[in-house]
Amino acid sequence: MELHLLGKRALVTGSSSGLGEAIVRMLAKEGATVVVHGRNEKRVNDVAAMIRADGGQAESAIGDLSTDEGADIVVSTALSEGPIDILVNNAGVYDHLSWAEATTALWAQIYNTNVLSGVRMIQRLLPQMRERHWGRVIHIGGGLSMQPMAVQPHYSATLAARHNLAVSLARELKDTGITSNVVAPGAILVGEVQDLLTRLAPANGWGETWEEIEYGAARDLVPNDVGRLGRPEEIAAAVAYLASPFADYVSGATIRVDGGTIRSVI
């Protein structure tokens, strides 16, 4: 399907690996010029180089979005070659701490990284989107925003904040030609997740091969109707749709890509 992204410029935060990398790769394949962002210069440049080697257009922006100064640097770099039409707020961190382990200092730290970093980018990039009367702000959320577990309370709360601010932003952007939406992944097979589940496998009796481990984890830890973990490309596809003109009439929405993990009609 031709998504008509040729000529658009997209900044995807936290795109030097994992889910963010899959998103910039897909947007580039659809014709967008992508700005690869991260804090590690080598990893960022490596991803950008791979996209260019595949025939895509890619630039690099290095910086820490957890500070105003870092956000200023990233935005200045991203805008140096042209306006940004599509902002994907993907950058974030997570852990598996319990209520007893997650101190208030960690709550504040993860909120700053997972929520305020996105707010910084929105506030800096919206003005130039408004000038052109077109834009996309896409937030990567998650099912834990709606169905939190006992563990990771601080992380789940940041996802809920992302979902909430996305809808508030959509209301703010009424009649501007700019939309704000959420893509909410389920458990996605990236390197860190595969390593974690492999470590958990012996204690849970999930078997030894990755196929056995994935099936066991999808059954016991993150139950869903498809019976496996999602793939980064499946999340990237939802982002690409929302970034396209085909989604002009979609705003304030959450697209769940979770295999049916969230069992709800809303």
Strands in 33-38's sheet, in edge-to-edge order, are: 57-62, 33-38, 9-12, 86-89, 135-140, 178-185, 254-257
Active site residue 155: yes
From the candidates 155, 215, 241, 249, give the one annotated as an active-site residue.
Answer: 155
Which tokens hold the place of 26?
A: 């897909």
| Residue 7 falls in which region: left (phi positive, over 0), alpha (psi -120 to 50) or beta | left
* Element holding 126 (H helix, E strand): helix 117-132
Q: Give the 3-state secondary structure of residue 182.
A: strand
Where would I find the beta strands (DSSP E) of the chain? 9-12, 33-38, 57-62, 86-89, 135-140, 178-185, 254-257
Which tokens hold the place of 168?
A: 């508030």
Catalytic machinery residues = 155
